[in-house]
Amino acid sequence: MRLSYPSSVKVIQVPCTGRVDIIHLLKAIEDGADGVYVAGCLEGECHYLSGNLKAKKRVQYVKKVLKEIGVEPERVEMFNLSAGEGPRFAEIAREMAERIKKLGPSPVNMKKAA
């Protein structure tokens, strides 16, 4: 559709968000990402039945753990949309980029904070 979304958002494609695990989200934060989000199918419409539900639980777990160590849980998020919703995809990207901009650089990312 050639819609634009912020260049600060880097997309990693997976066959199903069920493939995304806790360690992937943590590693992203560890390696300096200011935010990471998971965009999965609408609930009830997962092509692999419940992959997006598993992803949702994992995102919740990571949020909880980050809060425990003093990193804003809002830096990690789960979104649901249909594969055909191009504009929604771009909208989510903008929404998350805006959110992260407001939060500022990740407290983990010492280089940028300095």
Partner 1 sequence: MIIADRKPLEEIMQMVKDSNKILILGCKGCVTVCNVGGAKEVGILSSILKIARKKEGRPLEVDEKTIERQCDPEYIAQVKEIVAEYDAVISMACGVGPQFLSEAYPTQRFFPAVNTTCFGGATQHGVWSERCAGCGTCVIHFYDGMCPVARCSKSLMHGPCGGSARGKCEISKDVDCIWDMIVKKKMGEGHLEDLMTMKPTKDWRTARDGGPRKSVREELVQ
Q: And the tokens for 19?
A: 């493939």
Residue 51-90 contact track with partner 1, rule CB under 8 A, x = bound: --------------xx-xxxx-------------------
Kindly state whether residue 110 participates in binding partner 1, applying the rule CB under 8 A.
yes
C-alpha of 3 from chain center: 19
Kindly state whether residue 15 participates in binding partner 1, applying the rule CB under 8 A.
no
Do you know the residue count of the chain?
114
Closest to partner 1 by CB, 1 or 69: 69
Tokens 């809002």 belong to residue: 74
C-alpha of 57 from chain center: 13
Tokens 């990740």 belong to residue: 106
Which residues make up the interface to partner 1 (CB under 8 A)? 22-23, 26-27, 29-30, 65-66, 68-71, 107-108, 110
